[in-house]
A and B are shown apart, each in its own frame.
Chain A
C-alpha cells in the first residue's frame, strides 16, 4: 500500500521559474492538504481540498495554486518562484471524520524545494 506519494523529492529552482509539486494517494480519501515547513518551524497549511473539484485556502496560500480534478491527485503549482518559497512541502490526506476525534492525516515524505 503506497499511501501518500510525492514527487520530486528534491528540486532547485531559479527565481521566477514555475513548477508543479505532485501528490497522489491511493486510500480513496476525500480530504487532501498541502503544508510547508520552514526550518525550525511547524507545518503551515497552504491549501486544502474536501473532494474532487473543491479547494480552499489555508493559512499561507499566496504564491501557490492548486487543482483537484480527481480523488487521487492534488498537485500544487508555484507560478513565479521566490526565495521565500524555499521550504519542505508536505502533502497529506485524511479519511472521513470520526466522532471520537481521532482523525489522523497521512503525510507523504515531502519535497525539499530551494529557490535561488
Chain B
C-alpha cells in the first residue's frame, strides 16, 4: 500500500515552458512534504518543502502547491531548463517521538526538458 504516489513515471516538456509534477498521498497525518531531485549515479538533493499547514511555497523557479482536501501536491517549475532533467521524488514526513522524522517516498517522475 503506497502512501505516497507519483502516477506519472515520466514527463517531457519543452525548454522555457512550465513543468508540473504531481503527487498524491493517503495519510492525512503527514507533517510536511518535500521534493527531491536526483541525477543518475548521484544521491537525491533537496529541492523545496511545504508544511502541512500551508498551501503554497515558492523558491525561485520552483513552487509547490498543497491541496489538503484532495491529498494532492504539485511541483511547478517555471521556466523549465535542460538542467532540470532528472528524476523528481515526492516525499512526505512524519515526526517521530525521538525528534527525528521518517520520509516516505514516491516512486519518482523522470522529467526530460527538451531544448
Contact = CB atoms under 8 A, between A and B. Distances in A.
Q: Do A and B bind each other?
A: yes
Interface of A: 4, 31, 40-45, 48, 50, 54, 56, 58-59, 90, 92, 94, 97, 100-110
- The range of chain B's interface size is 20 to 34
A44 B9 CA distance: 18
B103 interface: yes
A97 B107 contact: no
Q: Interface majority SS on B: helix, strand, loop or mixed?
A: strand
B42 A109 contact: yes
Contacts of B103: 43, 45, 105
Given A4-B43, A101-B31, A101-B32, A56 B105 contact: no
B99 interface: yes
Interface string B87-111: 0010101011011111111111000
B98 A54 contact: yes
Interface of B: 4, 9, 31-32, 34, 41-46, 49-52, 89, 91, 93, 95-96, 98-108
Q: Can you list the 5 inter-chain pairs with the closest CB atoms, starting with the nearest?
A: A107-B43, A42-B105, A104-B46, A101-B32, A101-B51
